[in-house]
Every structure is written in structure tokens, then in C-alpha cells.
Amino acid sequence: MHSINADMQFPVKVGVILVACHYIIGLVDDRSDIDARLRLVLSTLATTAAFWLDPTLVALNLNFSWGINVGMVPAFAFVAAALVLVSFIFAVNLIDGRNGILAGYAMLWLTLLQVTADALPMGYYVTAMLCCGAFLIANMRGLVFAGDSGAYLVACTIGVLGLHAHAEGHVSIDQLLLWFIVPVFDAGRVLAVRLGRGQSPFRGGRDHLHHVLWDHVSHRWAGALYASATLVPSVLSVMVPSLTALWLIAAVAWLLVLSTSPVFFAKLRTV
């Protein structure tokens, strides 16, 4: 496994520019409240341009933990990779509804990618972790907030590192899905519920998983339950990667319990 370094085109040029573009999109939205549809278009255009300039991010084979590799037509792989990254960026932005969530997940994802794929030079990794840790402390005290700019910065960085790690064969596609299961599951569930009700998926609401948890149980329990949905199965996928599919199924089942069981919540409220 090789660290990303200055000799590689992706992170130094196209990757950094793509992250910067999303940070600017988020920053403008924080100041001027851009319509979500316009942000989606801008993100898609920036991502498409980045993949066109540097196609090494686009994996032509989907590698699964149980040893199956699925080849894809280049054009389809290009579209799929762009769709996945843009969707992930917006999904991460949606989970940033409680202090500590974004920074906590950023540190977890960076560590998982570093351990499995040696994603960054160690100095960059340590610097990123220190920055995330400092932000986490200040954010938990209500002193600073990420906003859309911070969420896009984190999501785009993690997303491109994840795509690169998969394209290089360091992590399987189901491992990435497991690590990112909370924003993916939450966005998918909210989208399905809102469309089922005839509501716009772009409107705000208190139907995200963090709202459900923090509205029904104590803050201590809510934080522990929210973290458990990713932390435990992700660590298991690193320790026993061949069983990643099993850990993924367990994580989805646990998220279904957390999002649909008021009786379970009622018991925890009194603890």
C-alpha cells in the first residue's frame, strides 16, 4: 500500500480542486442560502469535470469482500462514480444536525482509510486529526459550527479518498458502504419517506436519524447508539474483512431498529 504523495496527480491537483470547489459551494450557501437544486447541479458539474480530468478515481471494477469482482463499462463507471460521490456529499451534510457528529465521523473515517489504505502521508493524517479534534472540542461547546461549507469539505475529502482507495484495490466496495452506512441509510430512508408522503425531498424536517434518537432518548444514550451503528461494525470489518457483508447486514438491521422502534426508545428514556 502506498501513501498519496506529491508525485501523484489526484490529491495534489484535481482532488484538492474538487474539495475546494465544494467548500466554496457550501460557503456561498452558508452566506446566501442557495437553493438545494442549484447546489446539486454545481456539485455534479464540479465532480464530472474532476473525473474527466483525472479518471483514476473511477474504478472500472467493483471489488467485494467475498472475492467477487464486477467489471463495468467505462461510461457507466464514470456516471456511477460521480453519482455516488455527489450523493455521499449531500448525505453527509444531512447528518450534520447535532454538535459532534460531523467531526466525530470525520475522525473515524480518516482513521479507517489510513489503517486500511494508508490514505494520506502520516504528517497529513496527524494534522487532519488534530484539526478535527480541535474542532470537535469547540463544536461540542457550541463555539464553532461546520455549516454546509464544513460538511462539504469533510464529505468531499473523505469521498475522494474512499474512491481512490477502492480504485487502487485497498478496500472493497462493501467496506466503504459499511463505513458510510449512517449517512447513506439516513438519506435513503428520509428520501423514501418524504416521497411516499408526496413531500419534496429537498425540504427540511426533523425526520433524520439524529432527530429521532435525540428526541426520544437521553443525550448520552442517543450519542452512544448513533456511534454504535458505525463504530462497532466498521472496526469488525477491518479486523475480519472477509465477513464485511455480514457486518453490513447487521449494521442495516440495527439502523432499522433505531429508526423504527418507539418501544425501544421508551425504555431507554428512563435509564
Q: Which residues are annotated as a binding site?
A: 93, 148
Q: Which residues are annotated as a binding site for Mg(2+)?
A: 93, 148
Q: What is the 3-state secondary structure (H, E, C) of the chain?
A: CCCCCCCCHHHHHHHHHHHHHHHHHHHHHHHHCCCHHHHHHHHHHHHHHHHHHCHHHCCCEEECCCCCEEECCHHHHHHHHHHHHHHHHHHHHHHCCCCCHHHHHHHHHHHHHHHHHCCCCHHHHHHHHHHHHHHHHHHHCCCCCCHHHHHHHHHHHHHHHHHHHHHCCCCCHHHHHHHCHHHHHHHHHHHHHHHHCCCCCCCCCCCCHHHHHHHHCCHHHHHHHHHHHHHHHHHHHHHCHHHHHHHHHHHHHHHHHHHHCHHHHHHHHCC
